[in-house]
Amino acid sequence: MVARFHDTWQALSGSPLLWLSYTLLVYLAALRLYRLKGSHPLLLPILTSVLVVLATLWATGTPYEQYEQATQFLVFCIGPATVALAVPLYTQLPQIKRLWKPVAVALLAGSLTAIVSAIGIAWVLGGSMETILSLAPKSATTPIAMEVARITGGLPSFATVAVALTGISGAVMAAGLLSLLRIEDPVVKGFTLGLTAHAIGTARAFQLGDRAGAAAALAMSLNGVATAILVPIVLALLGLFRWGG
Summarised one tens digit per residue, pLDDT across range 44-70 is: 787 788 889 889 888 888 887 888 888
Q: Are 199 and 141 in contact (CB under 8 A)?
A: yes
CA 45 to mean position of chain CA atoms: 13
Distance CA 91, CA 130 (A): 41
Average pLDDT value for residue range 73-89: 71
Which phi-psi region, left, alpha or beta, contains residue 63 (left: φ > 0; alpha: ψ -120 to 50)? beta
Distance CA 74, CA 86 (A): 20
Q: Are 115 and 121 in contact (CB under 8 A)?
A: no
**For residue 92, what pLDDT band results from cuts at 50, 70 and 90?**
low
- The pLDDT of residue 10 is 57
CA angle 188, 191, 197 (to 5 degrees): 130
**For residue 244, what pLDDT band results from cuts at 50, 70 and 90?**
low
Residue-wise pLDDT for 133-142, tens only, equals 999 999 888 8
Average pLDDT value for residue range 118-144: 89
- % of residues, the chain, pLDDT over 70: 86
CA distances from 152 to 32, 135, 229 (A): 40, 11, 12
User: What number of helices (H) and strands (E) belong to the chain?
Assistant: 13, 0
Distance CA 134, CA 148 (A): 8
Residue-wise pLDDT for 155-194, tens only, equals 888 888 888 888 888 888 877 788 888 888 888 888 888 8
Distance CA 2, CA 6 (A): 6
Distance CA 16, CA 14 (A): 6
Residue 131: Cβ within 10 Å count:
18
Nearest CA to 27 out of 61, 51, 60, 62 is that of 51
Q: First and final CA of the chain: distance in angstroms?
A: 58
Enter the pTM of the model: 0.74
* Helix (H/G/I), strand (E/B), else coil: 50: helix
- The pLDDT of residue 3 is 53
Nearest CA to 151 out of 219, 64, 241, 83 is that of 241
Distance CA 115, CA 227 (A): 8
Nearest CA to 219 out of 244, 191, 186, 184 is that of 191
- The pLDDT of residue 116 is 93
More confident residue, 14 or 87: 87
- The pLDDT of residue 245 is 54
